[in-house]
């Protein structure tokens, strides 16, 4: 759902990469350049171990997306289950969306919950915000997760840039 069968020659930026499984999948589908940003040092280290074991060329960065400079263009930009962890998601999106060359993919919980000292932004507001940059969002119940909270998968295409 997130990727077409072939990503031949494409570049992919996965924000909140966890152990890097989506990055490795992009590489397996032929992506020429894959970068994964992961804040948690344990997850980052695990991703680096998998990278070594797989002899992969995925680039993992152990840093916050909030600190990342969104300058280099990427064909695919992924925010899979990441934005509800960010205190100011619109500020991150505003910096990140200009670099998308082909597709922006957001996976987000269907219903917001109260986190420590704040309530998650409702998905409706995230989609409205992205709608200022891309028309005709394709949204669906996420088929990517088997357990946990129900998620929405939203796909925005560069062809529909406002």
Ligand X SMILES: C[S@@+](CC[C@H](N)C(=O)[O-])C[C@H]1O[C@@H](n2cnc3c(N)ncnc32)[C@H](O)[C@@H]1O
Residues that bind ligand X (CB under 6 A): 16, 18, 37-40, 43, 64-66, 80-82, 85-86, 107
Is the CB of 66 or the CB of 141 nearer to ligand X? 66
3-state secondary structure of 141: strand
Is the CB of 80 or the CB of 130 nearer to ligand X? 80
Is the CB of 9 or the CB of 105 nearer to ligand X? 105
Is the CB of 41 or the CB of 162 nearer to ligand X? 41
Rounded least distance, CB 53 to ligand X, Å = 19
Both structure tokens of 128: 């409205």
d(CA 160, CA 111): 27
Rounded least distance, CB 5 to ligand X, Å = 20
Q: Which residues pair with 161 in a beta bridge?
A: 134
Helices marked H in 21-157: 21-28, 41-54, 89-96, 123-131
Residue nearest to ligand X (CB): 16
Is the CB of 39 or the CB of 121 nearer to ligand X? 39
Rounded least distance, CB 6 to ligand X, Å = 22
Give the residue from 25, 66, 19 showing the smallest Cα distance to 41: 19
Rounded least distance, CB 153 to ligand X, Å = 10
Give the residue from 138, 7, 149 showing the smallest Cα distance to 81: 149
Residue 134 DSSP code: B
Rounded least distance, CB 85 to ligand X, Å = 4
């Amino acid at each position: 759902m997130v990727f077409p069968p072939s990503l031949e020659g494409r570049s992919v930026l996965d924000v909140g990469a966890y152990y890097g499984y989506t990055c490795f999948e992009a590489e397996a589908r032929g992506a020429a350049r894959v970068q994964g940003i992961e804040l948690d040092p344990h997850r980052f280290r695990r991703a680096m171990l998998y990278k070594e074991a797989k002899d992969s060329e995925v680039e993992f960065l152990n840093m916050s997306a909030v600190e990342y400079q969104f300058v280099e263009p990427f064909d695919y930009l992924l925010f899979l289950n990441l934005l509800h962890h960010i205190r100011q998601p619109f500020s991150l999106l505003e910096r990140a969306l200009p670099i998308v060359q082909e597709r922006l993919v957001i996976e987000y919980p269907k219903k917001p919950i109260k986190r420590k000292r704040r309530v998650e932004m409702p998905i409706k507001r995230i989609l409205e915000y992205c709608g200022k940059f891309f028309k005709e969002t394709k949204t669906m119940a996420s088929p990517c997760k088997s357990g946990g909270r129900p998620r929405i998968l939203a796909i925005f295409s560069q062809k529909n840039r406002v």
